[in-house]
Amino acid sequence: MKISLKDVGGNEVLAGALNGRVALNRLLEETTSEPDGPEPVFLDFSSVEVATASFLRESVLAFRDIVRSQRSSFYPVIANANETVRDELIELLHPRGDVLMACILGEDESVVEAAPIGDLDPKQRVTFDLVREHGETDARELMRSYGKKEGLKHATAWNNRLASLASLGLVVELSQGRAKRYRPLFGGT
């Protein structure tokens, strides 16, 4: 699913907390129907010149937090943001130690390039990279393969890291009964 932030915000300049809350409500309205399986929601910033931190905090970050806290199958992704919007996002994310997935969409809406923006802590970065490397994994597999190297004695630490990445929307959580497996949001990220 792709949602135009220019359409949601009504302008190519997206500014202000109040406008951000209005945009949040529109984003939530667009995503009321839950998909059958994990699905990226591309928050498309094409044609948006500027988005202020207050707008982004009240719309994009709030949307991601609400959607992910509900354990939705939607995974919000920033798409086609220009350098000005990306800089504003980084300024917003950095003090919080927060991260968002971002990408560039091709004309056919395929993901051309994707990477997290913001700061993953070193342990999260290692875990994110391992999920990408494995394609799909779980805490027990990571414990068996990397537990000693990371100085871990129990899979709980891996579980916590993986759950944290899923709550940020950086990896997809797949439930298999009581067990959970994780895979990258995009194959080549």
Environment class of residue 174 by beta-carbon count within 10 Å: exposed (0-12), middle (13-18) or buried (19+)?
Answer: middle
**Global model pTM greater than 0.85:** yes
Sign of CA dihedral 9, 10, 14, 19: negative
For the segment 97-129, what is each residue's pLDDT rounded down to a tens digit?
899 999 999 888 889 888 899 888 888 888 899
Residue 4 vs residue 179, higher pLDDT = 4
pLDDT band at 188 (very low <50, low <70, confident <90, very high): very low
Assigned token pair, 179: 């067990």
Give, as one character, the DSSP assignment of residue 120: -
The CATH number of 2-118, from 3.40.50, 3.30.750, 1.10.8, 1.10.3470, is 3.30.750
Q: What is the pLDDT of residue 187?
A: 67
**Are the C-beta atoms of residues 101 and 185 closer than 8 Å to each other?**
yes
Please, where in the chain does CATH 1.10.10.10 lie? Answer: 122-184
The CATH fold assigned to 122-184 is Arc Repressor Mutant, subunit A (1.10.10)
d(CA 84, CA 81): 8
Please state, as a whole number, how many other Cβ atoms lie within 10 Å of the Cβ of residue 24: 20
CA atoms within 13 A on the CB side of 147: 15
Residue 112 vs residue 6, higher pLDDT = 6
For the segment 16-64, what is each residue's pLDDT rounded down to a tens digit?
999 999 999 999 999 999 888 889 999 999 999 999 999 999 999 999 9
Assigned token pair, 19: 């406008």
